[in-house]
Amino acid sequence: MASGLLRDLLEQHLEPGYRAAASRRAEVPPSARSRRWGLIVRFVVLLALGLLFAAAYVQASAGAPQAARTRAALADDARVRAALTDRLQRQATTERGRLSAQRAEALRATTAGSQADAALRDLEAAASLTAVRGEGLVVTVGDAGQRNDPVTGDPAQSDPAAAGHVQDRDVAELVNALWAAGAEAISVDGQRLSPTSTIRSAGGAILVDFRPVSSPYEIRAIGNAGRMQARFADSDVARSFVTFIDLYGIKFSTRRAKAISVPAASATELKFAAPGEGK
């Protein structure tokens, strides 16, 4: 008796009542009405999904031309504003030169004035407010060309550094290495660096003092070309960029120049803290 119960327990996984109910359902075929309702429900669900996908496609297609027009308008506005900024910058540089000449002429009339003019010129040079010309070093760094996946042949999708894109920190490291090598004046793509200059990125673009620069980036450094080239080539930054040529495919080169020029930097309005009165 016990062995029979144990055998039923091992061989029969369903309780007898559930097994009998399942057998009765299997013997009764579904009615034509239930089959028809099942087909109607499936049709309605598929129709609703089709309408949903069609509406999404129409909306995306209608929005694409507008998005393209908006991007084009923004790009045109950026170009117009950049051209206006360049024109105003050139005008400001010209007016600053005239003012400096008139000031020097007025100050040189006296000994004290001549001393004040010399001090002002030294301060302007330290603030990068005067154009500079002389021998120096030209460092060029640029993004790598399009790299494809070796397996699929499609354009490689990876982080900007691995894809060979020059970052703002790369330009900043090169500039700092040139300062350490003895540079006296530096510009990046024609943008003169001053003591308050910043090199940042925004939306994938590199900004020098909030003005965009583009690859390949030309860094001009004025100073003793021979000594500066030797010190820069011996820096960790320069050695790293040499390895980046093979590792990431970036463009990097250095050359000496007998005569290069860098423009004056834009004047920056500084705000100083004042000591408060003691209580």
Neighbours of 132 (CB within 10 A): 20
Within a domain: 138:
yes
150 preceded by cis ω (within 30°)?
A: no
| Closest CA relative to residue 245, chosen from 171, 145, 148, 154 | 145
On whether the CB atoms of residues 260 and 220 are closer than 8 A, the answer is yes
Residue 5 lies in a domain: no
User: Is 171 domain-assigned?
Assistant: yes
Residue that wins the pLDDT comparison between 33 and 114: 114
This prediction has a pTM of 0.62
Please report which helix (H) or strand (E) contains residue 192, including its range: strand 191-192
The answer to whether residues 191 and 209 touch, using CB atoms and an 8 Å cutoff, is yes
Instruction: Please write the tens of the pLDDT for every residue from 86-106.
Output: 788 778 777 777 877 787 778
Query: Between residues 163 and 71, which one has the greater pLDDT?
Result: 71
pLDDT at 15: 61
Domain span at 172: 134-262
* CATH number of residue 195's parent domain: 3.30.70.1880
Residue 55 within a domain = no
4 is a domain residue? no
> How many structural domains does the chain have?
1
pLDDT at 1: 52
pLDDT-wise least confident of 67-76, 122-131, 154-163: 154-163
Report yes or no on 67 lying in a domain: no
* pLDDT confidence tier of residue 138, bands split at 50, 70 and 90: very high
**In the prediction, which pLDDT does 278 show?**
54
Give the range with max mean pLDDT: 26-40, 45-59, 206-220, 224-238: 224-238
pLDDT digits (tens, 9 = 90+) for 210-268: 888 889 999 999 999 999 999 999 999 999 999 999 888 899 999 999 999 998 887 66
190 vs 16: which has the higher pLDDT? 190
For residue 26, the model assigns a pLDDT of: 56
Q: Is residue 46 one of the residues assigned to a domain?
A: no
Residue 37 placed within a domain: no
Would you say how long the chain is, in residues? 279
